[in-house]
Structure 1
Amino acid sequence: MQGPQALHPGTQAPQVGASTAYQVDARHDGTLLDSVVGAPPLARKWARDLGGAVSYPVVVDGRVFVTVSSPGGGYGTTLHALDAATGQDAWAPVDLGGTYWWSALAYGGGRLYAQNYDGVLTAFDPARGTRLWSVTLPGQHSFSSPPTFSGGTVYTAGSGSGGTLYAVDAASGAVTWSRSVLNGGNSSPAVTATGVYVSYACEQAFAFDPLSGAPKWRHETGCSGGGGRTPVLADGRVWVRDGAGAAPAVLGAADGAVLGGYRATGDAPAPAFDGRQGYFVDGGVLTERHSRTLEARWTFAGDGQLSTAPLVVNGYVYVGSRTGRLWALNGATGQPVWSTDVGSPVLGPDERNVSQPLTGLGAGAGLVVVPATHQLVAYGR
């Protein structure tokens, strides 16, 4: 087993044992330590056909949570809770309602949080599926930014009339602060104890104090528009991408200073980081780069249709393909150590549209969990 990379000064410890947000954790860095998973090869443990497009999984406390678009063509999504050991329902599916087919999840403070397109944010008891509270976020009507839990607060954003970033008390559902942003869509807040970071069209990026919402910095460019891309926090840097044509930028987390740029097309998924090793999918190819020099040290083309944001578990990089293939690679060398046919296309995240929930890989509870179109497939030892 390769094991995790040594941490460098300024980096933060990886998430341990659970996926609690989009791209694993509140930083969206795509990296997890789980001693139960073990080194690949892995075996298929279970698979479920859930009847609609499947979101990224939240994997915690022996359960796998996803949302699924309505299979009948009508608007709305359904929340599913599955037993991680068997893949069977842990509790009955819950209709989340909402316009279109978008919804997203986060976990923290002993609660599961689900948000739909209409801005209805609901907290559930993850053991029983009981609703604990529900709030309709005020002032906006279009919600496509997955929520993030950190430090007793759920952070999310909405758009429609400008854009708004919200901080919601995780215990009660009360909005503790909100701030105007440009323009609130498609950007799950990346959060640490010292900053909340979001990035929208034309790389209009913002940082706020998590407790007060006070602005810390703004990376302003010469244009603005709808939509955004989820930022990634790694190695003291904010990695932002843009769907409006600007070259992706690396910003200093402390002050927003531009530290460099990197190559990625408009639909490239979020990179993942293990210490100072960064993993980038672009144009169907996976490339490893040093987070400071951005030097490319290895590439892996697979079948040329790699599509997912990378997932790093115990130093192994997992990536899926539109052809339905899943690979595991040694993160240090790029050497493929295992691959399997998932059985359905493993699609990349659609950060432009709300025609389905945002999808992505996840891990925890001894599993690597793969949404593959309408299927959810779990692998483990």
Structure 2
Amino acid sequence: MAESGAVIVCPARRTKLIALDRMTGQEYWRANIQNPWGTLALSATHVYFLNQHARLDAFDLHRGARLWSTELPGPSGWLHADERSVVVGGWRNYTPLTCLEAATGEVRWTVHLGSAQVLRTAIYAPLQAVAMHQGMEGQIRWLSLHDGHERLTLSLKELQPDSCDVIPRGVFGQEPRGLLVRSGSGNFYRLTGDRAVVEHHQTGQNLLSRPLDERDGQVFFLNRRNEFCVYDLVEQHTLVMERVDHLGVAPLPARRLLDGSYVLGTSSGTLWHFNAAGKRISRRRVCTGVTTELFTDGRTIAFRAFDRIEA
């Protein structure tokens, strides 16, 4: 699932892509796809679905009309999009990094990345570039979305060579959502702005989760004791809660609600609710497993379980 504004989009019923109202679940539109196995990326106007790592379809977000389709050399992966560009490739070093025109699907450029393992890619808005963590040398490279040429290279000490198939999607580098990369066992760097300003944050925990992402000034993760933790970027303080029934190292399905409380969905299908001080309010098993991030609006929470959409 992915969201843009009040619209949630997800594959369904084997050959359909559907758009729903986040608050009510009302269906806006449905479109045909080959099968539900793929990756979604949304902009303010478009929906992109990379089906089985090879076929890329673009749809109008508000009407569901198919705008273009293209076949890519597979297996591609790590789909990113903004208003002008769509980026794929780099996942497991199977394919080169490719940038396409968002409006037409025409290939703008392709860059072969070599043999060093690609650990993370992201659209970095302030530089209009793709930020890429590759290899063990502790470097982040920025490749221009316009022509694929290198715009900036930054060396960071103790950059953690984390590898994870599931990485955060969206647009990074602006103040509400910096680009986070792990540093050592418990710290991370936060990169923002067109000069890639670097902040170094120390969580005081031995991190299990990777890679990291921020939501509204909060970074959610599990420590090595499997405790749910929230790091506040302003206060530079970690709130440690309790052990939860979540497996894996991918980003946690967690959000902070308007009242300051925290909600977490786990791989075991449990919704945990903690107050602002980290004390558990409730714990309820609602499905066999939460498989997407949580999409919230006020106190309404939507997510995808293994077999259905819950709200």
CA deviation digits over 1:323-356, x for unaligned, max 9?
32213434x5324455543233225xxxxxxxxx
Q: Where does the alignment leave 5 or more consecutive residues of structure 2 unmatched?
A: none
Task: Determine the C-alpha separation between the residues in 1 that align with 2:223 and 2:198.
Answer: 25
Query: Is the 8 Å Cα contact of residues 362 and 368 (structure 1) preserved in structure 2?
Result: yes
CA deviation digits over 1:144-170, x for unaligned, max 9?
313232x42223324576643333222
Secondary structure at the aligned position of 2:61 is classed as: coil
Query: Following superposition of structure 1 onto structure 2, how do residues 48-127 of structure 1 map, counting pairs within 5 Å?
Result: 56-61=1-6, 63-67=7-11, 78-84=16-22, 86-87=24-25, 89-92=27-30, 94-97=32-35, 102-127=37-62
Task: Determine the C-alpha separation between the residues in 1 that align with 2:16 and 2:134.
Answer: 27
Query: Is the 8 Å Cα contact of residues 141 and 159 (structure 1) preserved in structure 2?
Result: no
Task: Determine the C-alpha separation between the residues in 2 that align with 1:252 and 1:329.
Answer: 29
Matched, 1:230 2:167: yes
Report the Cα offset of residue 126 of structure 1: 2.9
1:196 matched residue in structure 2:
130
Q: 2:286 aligns with which of 342, 364, 377?
A: 342
Query: Following superposition of structure 1 onto structure 2, how do residues 92-241 of structure 1 map, counting pairs within 5 Å?
Result: 92=30, 94-97=32-35, 102-137=37-72, 140-149=73-82, 151-159=83-91, 163-181=95-113, 187=120, 189-194=122-127, 195-200=129-134, 202=136, 205-215=140-150, 216-217=152-153, 219=155, 230=167, 233=173, 238-241=179-182
Task: Determine the C-alpha separation between the residues in 2 that align with 1:69 and 1:201.
Answer: 40
Task: Determine the C-alpha separation between the residues in 2 that align with 1:145 and 1:342.
Answer: 29
Query: Following superposition of structure 1 onto structure 2, how do residues 231-270 of structure 1 map, counting pairs within 5 Å?
Result: 233=173, 238-241=179-182, 249-250=188-189, 252-253=191-192, 254-255=195-196, 259=200, 263-265=206-208, 268=210, 270=212
Tell me which of the two structures has the higher relative contact order, counting C-alpha pairs closer than 8 angstroms and 6 or more residues apart: 1
Cα RMSD of the aligned pairs, angstroms, is 4.1
Counterpart code for 1:207: W
1:288 matched residue in structure 2:
230
Q: Where does the alignment leave 5 or more consecutive residues of structure 1 unmatched?
A: 1-55, 71-76, 348-358
Query: Is the 8 Å Cα contact of residues 187 and 200 (structure 2) preserved in structure 1?
Result: no
Task: Determine the C-alpha separation between the residues in 2 that align with 1:162 and 1:223.
Answer: 22
Counterpart code for 1:288: V
The total of aligned residue pairs comes to 293
CA deviation digits over 1:230-275, x for unaligned, max 9?
3675768532259xx987742544458694666323x546343433
Report the Cα offset of residue 320 of structure 1: 0.9
Secondary structure at the aligned position of 1:142 is classed as: coil
Report the Cα offset of residue 301 of structure 1: 1.5
Task: Determine the C-alpha separation between the residues in 2 that align with 1:233 and 1:187.
Answer: 14
Counterpart code for 2:153: W
- With normalisation by structure 2, the TM-score equals 0.72
Task: Using the aligned pairs only, state the percent identity.
Answer: 20
